Amino acid sequence: MRIFVTGATGFIGSATVSELLAHGHRVLGLARSDANAEALEKLGAEVHRGDLSDLGSLAAGARASDGVIHLGFIHDFHHYAQSIETDRKAIQAMTVALEGSGKPFVGTSGTLLLPPGRTGTEQDAPPTEGHVHPRAPAEGLVLDAAKRGVRATLVRLAPTVHGRGDHQFLPFLIQTARQKGFAAYVGDGSNRWPAVHRLDAARLFRLALEKGTAGSRFHGVAEEGIPMRAIAETIGQGLRVPVRGISPEEAKAHFDWMAMFVAIDNPSSSAFTRETLGWAPREPALLADLREGGYFS
């Protein structure tokens, strides 16, 4: 199949492009710059110029392909509402372009949308009352497309997608520990984060594209929940700095925009995903990857 991939040059996207090509698919990757286009060509993908705000280009890329994997998102947490609105319009443009085709559309979401404090499953929908995660409506847009002749599915990623080239949550925590002189966790650090390696996530996106049933949710979760204290302790060992807990009131000043995430208890299961798609994570676990994967070099 010829697959249109947004976010194709990103941390997870580039791994997904390589995974698709290795399994006989052709890839049409979205590129907003010459550098992105060159990176895609080096991977062996075709280039489709445009960006997430260019709705006409997104629709054209979807129509020109046998399926879509939507990995692109503007990770600007200081302008988060604008990023979410851009994502909503992008999903709408591509799914409308695929209506009635029966083609697959794999959207991306996150386990952080689920209610905290209990193990979330693929069958759990995001809350609709109380604290509603701002990205939750995007899930509804994707799954609604399944009612309009699109084989639409969702992959919810763990908040910690790790591996070589990571520039997201873990590097931010490491850099914060360097700047502050100690690695921190909130409270007693017992709150848990699920995790997945980027190469295992890439395999999951391919399997969801190839085998996913319309309206299904899948979880990119290799480890159900790692205590934040264990993550902080591993960072402290890697940097050779002290490790200590801070209060919720101190978290905003310490972690900046990341404060909204570090205290969340987000254990998540991937049992349905493994059974349904035959997905079996095989890459290094999070703490081992932190110690041995070059995060501190």
What is the pLDDT, as a whole number, of residue 265? 95
3-state SS assignment for residue 240? coil
Which pLDDT tens digit goes with each residue over 45-96? 999 999 999 999 999 999 999 999 999 987 777 777 888 899 999 999 999 9
Taking the model in full, what pTM does it have?
A: 0.94
- CATH class of the domain defined by 2-161+195-222+268-277: alpha beta
Instruction: Give the span between the Cα atoms of 190 and 237, in whole angstroms.
Output: 18
What is the pLDDT, as a whole number, of residue 161? 96
What is the pLDDT, as a whole number, of residue 130? 64
What is the pLDDT, as a whole number, of residue 75? 75
Residue the block writes with tokens 């290094």:
284
Which pLDDT tens digit goes with each residue over 148-179? 999 999 999 999 999 998 988 999 999 999 99
- Strand order through the sheet with 192-197: 160-162, 192-197, 223-227
Residues of the chain with CATH 3.40.50.720: 2-161+195-222+268-277
What is the pLDDT, as a whole number, of residue 20? 98
Q: Is the four-CA dihedral 176, 181, 186, 189 of positive or negative sign?
A: positive
Low-confidence ranges of the chain (pLDDT < 50): none
| Residues recorded for the chain | 297
Instruction: Give the span between the Cα atoms of 223 and 236, in whole angstroms.
Output: 21
